[in-house]
Amino acid sequence: MLWFLSIGIWLFSGPSPVALEVSPTKEPIQMDGIVNADEWADALVISEWYETNPGDNVPPKVKNIGYITYDDRYFYVGLIMHDPNPERIVAPVADRDQVPSYTDYAGIFLDTADEGRVSQMFLTNPRGVQYDAISGDSSGEDSSPDFFWDVKAQITDQGWNAELRIPFSSLRYNGGGDQTWRFMLYRNYPREFRYQMFSNRLPRDKSCFICNVVPINGLRDLPQGGHLVVAPYAFGSQSQSLNGQGDLETEDADGEPGLDLKWTPTPALALDLAVNPDFSQIESDTAQITTNERFALFFAEKRPFFLEGADLFSTPLRAVHTRTITDPNVGARATGKLGKTSYTVLGALDDGGGSVVIPGDQGSSLVDQDFRSQVWLTRLRRDVGKGFVSFLASDRELEGGGFNRVIGPDFDWRPSQSDRVVGQVLYSQSETPIAPDLHHTWDGRALNDWAGQLWYQHSNAVWDTFIQGEHVGPEFRAENGFIPQVGYSKHYFEVGRTWRYQDRFLYRLRSFFFSEYTTDEDHAVLYRLFSYGAGMSGKKNSFFRFRYARDTVRLGEDLFDRDKFFFTAQANPGRVVGFLNLNGNIGDEIDYANGRPGRAVSVDVNATFQPTDHLNLDLTAARRWLDVDTGQGRERLFSASVARLRTNYNFTAKMFLRFIGQYTGSKRNPDLYTFNVSDRSGAWTGSLLWAYKLNWQSVMFVGYGDAHGLDEQQDWQTQERSWFLKLSYAYQR
């Protein structure tokens, strides 16, 4: 089956673009942010660029020049970004990866596998703030991975320049002989519109993005591996927490060492080892409203150890989500490529803690993970043309008994540049632990089932269509993934029509219709939806989307009909108010806790303020309330709120002071509930962090955090305080 799909993908892969030729530099590149013509004389010069947004591959509004060369250690990129009004450049000083779309930046997409599917991104803003990511046509863009590389940039009276120096040790390529890679240069130029410019055309009738990279030849005699990074760390903390008498009690000081090691014996293979992995640099997750939610909410992975080759664990069904490995004390991983076959193997010993999602057809629950386990994850992916065929294996063995094993193939087939077919089939075999005190289904029972997804997408400059079918059996489990619903079959259809305009406030308008029909194992309706609306893009990087939806939801044996209106509005007003976003919905809602209809409003607000080039404030707020019919009129059942302020003062691109304050709270009317609830709950957390970074693994952190909550008397009380210090240094050879 896999080889049949490979042949089909190869037949429709289409011709390759003409390759450009890059030459090594005869003189060392001085990293000073000055792109000197004599110094870059041997480089490949890229002077023909295209505006792809809002224009359709038209000559850009400003001149851009790119340079590409290399030596025996580094791959170099030089950028000269002209600007008739340099005073309008938006380039705040920020921490790594804090380069939002409403700021100026530029860089390169680099596909060292010569496949046109996945690339590494290396971008910089005019002040040398780095942004790196993995971007794939199947997996999307993920900025969590960090790489070792250098940049120097400076603003001039004609615009801004930058020089990027990327060690070959940070790239994964097949060693030996002459290399053919693929690339595209990119500039983001936000003014009255968000102008996006590339060094090659991006046809709008293609259903892919990275597939547009163009090949470069001439890369020869590159390093053949042997790079080693050893990053030991030491972490110390002191905490206070509430004791049984309601007083803060100081705990013993805690300190632990750890080690991260990465060895690349060949350019195509990376070996990672983590002993007592360090997760102390990860900030708190942004809070989400959980009141009146039936299914578990998703939180993204942020921990460095799990991010090498993270795109390899991205599959149509989210069968792998490494945050399920809650507290590993040791982990090892091999990620590499043999010809056209990519692979990754990950093993970890997880001490447990956190929660396990117990899925169902109408909701999911969270249960304490009170056991240790061994985790193994493997994926093989064979790249063929613009698509691939792949195989996934996942295993979790529980200490004391119980396991979960998942295996199955998936594929991505692109029969033409406008069409794409993606599918996956998985089979799971499980045995639950014997812990009925934690959950009634944990009695050692056997669970065996399958899950599958198949979808087709067609898109061109005017029309787009998406059709999807999905089935997840009631006994299917993916304990190393995130699948909070099981026991259903889903059918989804969407069609959209796009109009484009010139010399107007709005330059793009898309109207759409979509529907969904989901049933349980007995073919009874779980969910039915019909929705239509429109989305539009305009000046100041503005976007508006409005849609009406009518759906039917099953709760127990009852079906509830809802009519709702959804809205989204966002824009980048200017330098001080960098970003504003408002979205929400209003209309019929279901009181899931008590099984009755109601009316609800839900609103989310996000805003970014930059009073100076060094100070950044990010505000996130959400509010939801639900009214129910009591027979004597409507009354408020609950209101829930979330607010989060993240403030960064960046002294330089390497040193910052960060404060995060976060509040969550709910108010309820106990008389309207069919079970006992408190009338009010709330929590507030705050953290202060000073950081200095030589690079992403050589850091010093000093921090303080505390947490407050409402006690039984509805008074605010400090529940925990902590102080910590962390030192880490990356030795490279």
The Cα 225–Cα 355 span in angstroms is 40
pLDDT tops 80 at residue 308: no
The Cα 687–Cα 333 span in angstroms is 32
**138: in domain:** yes
List Cβ neighbours of 360 (8 Å cut-off, separation of 6 or more). 485, 486, 487
Low-confidence winner among 9-13, 42-46, 196-200, 670-674 (lowest mean pLDDT): 9-13
Q: Residue 457, class by beta-carbon neighbours within 10 Å (0-12 exposed, 13-18 middle, 19+ buried)?
A: middle
Q: Would you state the pLDDT for residue 99?
A: 93
**411: in domain:** no
pLDDT tops 60 at residue 11: no
The residues pairing with 420 across neighbouring beta strands, listed in sequence order, are 457
170 φ, ψ (degrees, to nearest 5): -90, 0
**145: in domain:** yes
211 φ, ψ (degrees, to nearest 5): -60, -15
pLDDT tops 80 at residue 614: yes
Q: What is the tally of structural domains in the chain?
A: 1
Q: Which of 209, 117, 211, 207 is nearest to 420 (CA)?
A: 207
Q: Would you state the pLDDT for residue 367?
A: 83
pLDDT tops 80 at residue 354: no
pLDDT tops 60 at residue 593: yes
**376: in domain:** no
* CA 315 from centre of chain: 14
Q: Residue 452, class by beta-carbon neighbours within 10 Å (0-12 exposed, 13-18 middle, 19+ buried)?
A: buried
For residue 70, what is the domain's CATH number? 2.60.40.1190
* Three-state DSSP class for residue 211: helix
Q: Would you state the pLDDT for residue 624?
A: 94
* Three-state DSSP class for residue 42: coil
- The share of the chain scoring above pLDDT 90, in percent, equals 57
CB 430 within 8 A of CB 479: yes
Q: Would you state the pLDDT for residue 307?
A: 64
Q: Tokens representing 731?
A: 């030795």
Higher local confidence (pLDDT), 536 or 277: 536
Name the average pLDDT for the chain: 88
- How many CB atoms sit inside 10 A of residue 37's CB? 12
CB 623 within 8 A of CB 638: no
Q: Would you state the pLDDT for residue 17?
A: 66
**132: in domain:** yes
Q: Would you state the pLDDT for residue 176?
A: 66
Tell me the pLDDT tens digit for each residue of 243-262: 777 777 888 878 888 888 99
CB 170 within 8 A of CB 147: yes
- Give whichever of 253-257, 353-357, 610-614, 693-697 has the largest mean pLDDT: 610-614
Tell me the pLDDT tens digit for each residue of 157-193: 999 999 999 999 999 888 767 889 999 999 999 998 9
Q: Would you state the pLDDT for residue 3?
A: 39
The Cα 153–Cα 34 span in angstroms is 8
**512: in domain:** no
- How many CB atoms sit inside 10 A of residue 572's CB? 23
Q: Would you state the pLDDT for residue 309?
A: 62
**128: in domain:** yes
pLDDT tops 80 at residue 154: yes
Tell me the pLDDT tens digit for each residue of 47-94: 999 999 999 999 999 999 999 999 999 999 999 999 999 999 999 999
**704: in domain:** no
Which residue range is the domain that position 110 belongs to? 15-219
Q: Would you state the pLDDT for residue 92?
A: 93
Mean pLDDT of 573-584: 92
